[in-house]
Amino acid sequence: MTELGAGDGPVLSVLLPVRNEGINLRTMLKLLAGAVEVPNEVLVVYDHPDDDSLPVVASLAPQHPNLRPIHNTLGPGVVNAIRAGVSAARGRYVLIFAADEVGPVLAIDDMLELMDRGCDFVSCTRYAHGGRRLGGSIVGGALSRLANRLFHRIAGSVLTDSTTGIKMFKREVFERLNVQSPPVGWVVVFEMAIKAELAGLTLGEVPIVSIDRLYGGRSTFRLGPWFVEYLRWFLWGLRRLRSRAPRGRTVLLPQRPTSLREIP
């Protein structure tokens, strides 16, 4: 991680919501340290003080002064971890990232490029422009691909993967999105993508190869409650995007090829 000079603020705040991600977190922090070249901070957001991610943060903190643990006291779930992380963030841009996703690290430069070109909100895609999804739940993967394809075509969303958890946005944009999701999985990022488009924000999209749970840990995927909540936001977004005049309907792509597109 690029260190900050005296009096400097970070360009990027990386939020890592964790729940016993000690094994994955050690690898992720090393990858971020090598991949992110702009001044940055990495905020590891945890719910419980006995989370096994905290010893990893403590052991690596001396080598990474921009690493901070953030105790989420707002309630359980990713949505509250994001709220707590954004509140503590000092960066110009905020990146929501998953501790078990190793592939998308290489796309961070492209996301930063789009932000510097004027985007307010950048989402990654596993389903277009050379993006791919590997590993994880077979059922969850099939539902995700189908839902995103339908939402892109039927609702007319410019984004091809609204549900991916990898999002970057200007820090001040978050309050405008007025997130209301319950703490069910990562549905909050789907809500954020829909509302960013409805708000007329300048959007960007970067392809990634998503490699889920390469190093271990347990997925929190639960088909029943996740399906119900994602369906609710799917229908909510469908009604509003189809009834609104086009706003925020331009999506920017990276000018240079993403290295991940070269993976066969």
pLDDT averaged over 10-residue windows placed end to end, the chain, 264 residues: 57 97 92 94 97 96 94 96 98 95 90 96 94 80 92 94 97 97 95 96 94 55 76 96 68 65 30
- What pTM, to 2 d.p., does this model score? 0.88
Give the residue from 171, 197, 204 showing the smallest Cα distance to 85: 171
243 by DSSP, 3-state: which? helix
pLDDT number for residue 244? 75
* CA-based nearest residue to 67, from 18, 7, 121: 18
Instruction: Provide the CATH number for the domain formed by 12-259 in this structure.
Output: 3.90.550.10
CB 213 within 8 A of CB 137: no
Q: Residue 211: what pLDDT?
A: 78
Q: What's the pLDDT at 122? A: 97
* CA–CA distance, 224 with 217 (Å, rounded to integer): 21
pLDDT of residue 240: 95
Q: What angle (nearest 5°) sits at the alpha carbon of residue 96, between those of residues 3 and 258?
A: 80
DSSP E strand stretches across the chain: 12-17, 40-46, 67-71, 93-96, 121-125, 132-135, 167-170, 203-207, 209-212, 251-252
